């Protein structure tokens, strides 16, 4: 059957799912462990289990804002540490029914993700030890305005009191997902078992887009970029022995965030890996996709970066294509499928999903960034691997392909050139039009297909 063209307005609506949905990922649920709910009881979201706590005075006088320092009604200063009463000791809990160890929790149990942040500067208010290497920390973030979780994978021999520091690899999650994505969907825990680095996986919101939101020029919360590049980074360096050699990688929305963070902060990251993400935000059609993604999450589409026409400077300040000169000296790995066709990592007969449209869109923008980097004389590696869906098996493979580059940038054993076993020559393909056909006419598709069409191509 001849494929029909999808009208531009309908296309933008459908493609909004590309930035927010991973076709292979199960629904993302809140992690009930933060609420310390005993087995067999409610597993509601933490914000429903524990009410927002009363705000506490800052940990030290230097954190007190000026207006609070002049307020005679504020609480009395804390007693010296040796005179403070200790919190009641938690009673030992019986083993879990599945045999796995229970999380070891420290800090104030009233605090849970997405509660209102405390006054004062960013601070860690709670920790959960989930295994020999896995540690979750909860940060009260004034930049986001809420309590934000961050997952850490710690190297052997790590301790807060160690005399040395460790290099750091940041892994960013995609849209409509959370900080547990990498450990939930990949074998990153076992894969990095012998890596002498701290692996950091921060929360970034379902559609935070790794940005400090414009909010009509008012700024304010959420300021995700400030949270990640300042608050998380500094807290890890102050209290968790994180060093100053850093690498960063991400998928889909996180791929965009990784490249933008590296370009907005020259020298902060020595390596950046981007898997199936939008690499240029102002190309034709891309602003509409981004704004529809925000709208689909219930946000004002102009709150992120303003209006694409009226606020061009804000959009440009968040566009990796514009920021590309700042990537000089950074090791760069870009990858994407070039169409929405099933590839070698898709099970036979897998139904086609609209989220797979993320591949030709990301390839379209990655190619533009690659040309810009070439023109600037900035060396980079790009793997445009043809068939392959917008799913975790491909992102995990590309992460592993690029991992030797990350290790080399961090100065670690095993560093070198990317694994080329599953890579293609980046020059093997070219787009003759702004975007290629994006859906195979004979694709195995779910029924009913959205909008009632059987094969989609972009209008000329």
pLDDT of residue 96: 58
pLDDT of residue 423: 75
Cα–Cα distance list, 283 to 315, 329, 367 (Å): 11, 25, 11
SS3 at position 128: strand
Selection from 207, 335, 338, 233 nearest residue 276 by Cα = 335
pLDDT of residue 20: 52
Structure tokens at 366: 């990655």
pLDDT of residue 82: 36
Count H helices and E strands in the chain, helices first: 13, 12
From first to last of its 460 residues, what are the pLDDT tens digits of the chain?
333 334 444 455 555 555 554 444 444 444 556 753 333 333 333 333 233 333 333 333 333 233 333 333 333 333 333 333 344 444 445 555 555 667 789 988 889 999 999 999 999 999 999 999 999 999 999 999 999 999 999 999 999 999 999 999 999 999 999 999 999 999 999 999 999 999 999 999 999 999 999 999 999 999 999 999 999 999 999 999 999 999 999 999 999 999 999 999 999 999 999 999 999 999 999 999 999 999 999 999 999 999 999 999 999 999 999 999 999 999 999 999 999 999 999 999 999 999 999 999 999 999 999 999 999 999 999 999 999 999 999 999 999 999 999 999 999 999 999 977 677 644 444 443 344 444 444 443 333 323 222 332 332 2
Residue in the structure block whose two tokens are 């950046």:
272
pLDDT of residue 94: 55
pLDDT of residue 220: 98
Q: Is the pTM of this model over 0.85?
A: no
Interatomic CA distance for residues 87 and 170, integer angstroms? 34
Which CATH number is correct for 4-53+114-458, 3.50.50.60, 1.20.1630.10, 3.40.50.1820, 3.90.1150.10? 3.40.50.1820
Interatomic CA distance for residues 419 and 122, integer angstroms? 39
Helices 8-20 and 286-296 cross at an angle (nearest 10°) of 60
E strand or H helix that includes residue 150:
strand 146-153
Which parts of 192-331 fold into alpha helices (H)? 224-226, 233-239, 253-264, 286-296, 312-317, 320-323
pLDDT of residue 368: 97
């Amino acid at each position: 059957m001849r494929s029909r063209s999808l009208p531009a307005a309908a296309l933008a609506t459908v493609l909004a799912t590309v930035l927010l949905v991973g076709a292979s990922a199960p629904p993302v649920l809140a992690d009930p462990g933060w609420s310390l709910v005993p087995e067999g009881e409610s597993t509601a979201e933490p914000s429903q289990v524990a009410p927002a706590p009363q705000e506490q005075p800052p940990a030290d006088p230097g954190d007190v804002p000026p207006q609070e320092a002049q307020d005679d009604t504020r609480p009395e200063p804390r007693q010296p540490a040796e005179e403070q009463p200790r919190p009641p000791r938690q009673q030992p809990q019986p083993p879990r029914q599945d045999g796995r160890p229970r999380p070891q929790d420290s800090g104030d149990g009233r605090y849970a993700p997405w509660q209102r942040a405390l006054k004062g500067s960013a601070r860690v208010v709670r920790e959960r030890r989930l295994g020999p290497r896995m540690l979750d920390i909860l940060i009260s973030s004034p930049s986001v305005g809420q309590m934000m979780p961050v997952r850490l994978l710690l190297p052997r021999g790590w301790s807060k009191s160690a005399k040395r520091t460790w290099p750091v690899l940041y892994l960013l999650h995609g849209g409509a997902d959370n900080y547990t994505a990498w450990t939930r969907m990949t074998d990153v825990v076992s894969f990095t078992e012998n890596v002498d680095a701290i692996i950091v996986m921060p929360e970034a919101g379902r559609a935070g887009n790794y940005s400090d939101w414009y909010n009509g020029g008012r700024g304010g919360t959420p300021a995700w970029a400030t949270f990640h590049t300042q608050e998380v980074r500094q807290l890890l360096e102050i209290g968790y022995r994180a060093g100053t050699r850093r690498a960063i990688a991400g998928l889909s929305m996180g791929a965009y965030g990784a490249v933008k963070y590296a370009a907005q902060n020259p020298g902060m990251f020595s390596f950046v890996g981007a898997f199936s993400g939008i690499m240029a935000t102002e190309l034709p059609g891309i602003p509409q996709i981004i704004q529809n993604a925000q709208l689909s999450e219930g946000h004002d589409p102009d709150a992120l970066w303003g209006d694409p026409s009226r606020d061009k400077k804000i959009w440009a300040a968040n566009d990796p294509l514009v920021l590309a000169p700042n990537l000089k000296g950074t090791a760069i790995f870009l990858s994407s499928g070039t169409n929405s066709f099933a590839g070698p990592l898709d099970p036979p007969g897998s139904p086609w999903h609209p989220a797979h449209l993320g591949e030709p869109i990301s390839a379209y923008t990655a190619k533009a960034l690659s040309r810009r980097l070439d023109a600037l004389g900035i060396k980079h590696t790009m793997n445009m691997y043809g068939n392959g869906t917008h799913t975790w098996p491909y992102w995990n493979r590309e992460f592993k392909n690029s991992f030797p580059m990350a290790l080399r940038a961090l100065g670690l054993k095993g560093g070198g050139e990317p694994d080329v076993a599953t890579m293609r020559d980046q020059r093997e393909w070219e787009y003759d039009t702004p975007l290629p056909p994006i859906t195979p006419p004979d694709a195995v598709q779910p029924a009913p297909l959205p909008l009632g069409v059987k094969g989609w191509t972009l209008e000329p």
